[in-house]
Amino acid sequence: MYVLGFDIGGTKSAVVLANIEDTQVSFLGRYERKTVPDWKKVLNELEENGRKILAGLNATPKVTVRVNTSKADYDEVYERLEEMGYDVEEGYACPEAIIIKGGSSIENNELFNEGLITVQDESAMIVTPLLDLEKGDIALDLCAAPGGKTTHMAELLEGEGKVYAFDLHENKLSLIKENLERLGLDNVEVEAMDATKLDSRYVSFADKVLIDVPCSGLGIIRKKPEIKWNKSRKSLKDLVPTQRAIMENAWTYLKTGGTMLYSTCTLNVEENQENIEWFLNKYKDAKVEKIFLGNMDNFIYNNDGSLTILPNEYMDGFFVAKISKK
C-alpha cells in the first residue's frame, strides 16, 4: 500500500511517498517545493501532486511507439497500424508518438521489424529533442542501454553527425547494436565505459551530452514493482555520489557552448533538483536553460528551469534538466 506524508518546513515543504506491506515500510522518494506564507496553499498543492503521483503509479501504462522519422512518415505509419487492426491514437505529448490502445504484440509487428517504429515511453521520448541537435554535431550518451535515446539521437541527426553510446555493462551493448541494426542507423559508435571514471579521449569532445543517470526509479514502479522492496533511504542517498560523478565527467566532455541533458526516471528531489543545485554552485560556467513543452496536467515546471513529469496512464514519472556551458 502506498502512503503519503507531508513535511511543511520554513523554506521548503515536501510530499513523501512510502510503501507499507505488513510491518515493512519502504521509503520511495520525496518531492519538494518552496514554502510560501500561505502554508495552506502549499499543503493543497502538495496533496494534489501527491494524489496525481499515487494515481499514476497505480494506472496501467499505455504502450507507445516512436516513429523512426529518418525512415518513415508519421501519417503513413499511423494508417498502416490501423490497417493491421491496431487501435491507435496520437501521442499524449510527443509528436513522434503513437499510442497503442489495442492489438497484437507490437514487437512481432512488421513495422517494428522493418525499423519504422520503436517501443518507448513518452517521458523518455521527450528527452532527446531537448538537446536541439544540429547536423554535424558530435553527441555522447553516457548511460545508453538499451538504446532508446541513443537511436532517437541518431534519427534526429539524419546521418549528418555522430553519436557515441556508452554503457558500463558490456552485455547490454548488444541491445543497443540490435536496435541500431533494426532501425538502419549507422552513425553510432558503441563502447563499454564506466561513466563515473573520466576518459581523457573525450575531454572537450562533444557538442551535446546526454546523461540518463542510474536512479531510484520511483517514476517506473508500476513497470518494475520490485523497486518497492529493494530501495532503502540509505540506498537512495548512495546513488547521489554516482550521479554527481557522471555529471562532472559529462561536463568535462562537453565543449564550450554545448548542452548537457540530465535526466532520471525518479521524482526524488535529492536525485533531481538537489543535484542540479549542487552542480550550479560548483560549476560557474553552467546555466540551466528553461524547459517549456506546453501546459500538460502532469508537467511541473520547477523554479530552476527543470521539468518534473508526474506519472499518468500515458507517461512514466521523469525529471529532466537542460544545462548549457557558457
Q: Where are the domains of the chain?
A: 2-58, 63-119, 122-325
Contact 203, 227 (CB under 8 A): no
Q: What is the CATH number of domain 63-119?
A: 3.30.70.1170
Given a cut of 90, whether residue 12 has pLDDT beyond it is no
DSSP secondary structure code for residue 128 in this structure: G
Nearest to 146 by CA among 212, 70, 206: 212
Residue range 227-232: mean pLDDT, rounded: 64
Report d(CA 272, CA 264) in Å as an integer.
7
Helix (H, G, I), strand (E, B), or coil: what is residue 226?
A: coil
pLDDT at 222 (0 to 100): 80
pLDDT at 13 (0 to 100): 61
94 in catalytic set: no
pTM, entire model:
0.87
% of the chain exceeding 70 in pLDDT: 83
26 bridge partner residues: 19
Q: How many angstroms separate the most distant Cα atoms in the chain? A: 58
Do the domains spanning 63-119 and 122-325 agree at the CATH topology level? no
% of the chain exceeding 90 in pLDDT: 70
pLDDT at 300 (0 to 100): 92
pLDDT at 294 (0 to 100): 95
Given a cut of 90, whether residue 242 has pLDDT beyond it is yes
pLDDT in tens, 46-104: 677 777 777 777 778 889 999 999 999 999 999 999 999 999 999 999 999 999 999 98
Other C-beta atoms closer than 10 Å to the C-beta of 323 total 24
pLDDT averaged over the chain?
88
| 34 confidence band (pLDDT: 50, 70, 90) | low
Least confident interval from 6-10, 109-113, 181-185, 306-310:
6-10
Give me the CATH topology for the region 122-325.
Rossmann fold (3.40.50)
pLDDT at 55 (0 to 100): 75
Residue range 39-49: mean pLDDT, rounded: 66
Report d(CA 197, CA 183) in Å as an integer.
31
Read off the amino acid at residue 142.
L
Report d(CA 239, CA 23) in Å as an integer.
26
Least confident interval from 52-61, 196-205, 227-236, 265-274:
227-236
pLDDT in tens, 299-322: 999 999 999 999 999 999 999 999
Q: Which of 94, 143, 215, 265 is catalytic?
A: 265
The cell for 206 is: 562533444
Contact 285, 325 (CB under 8 A): yes
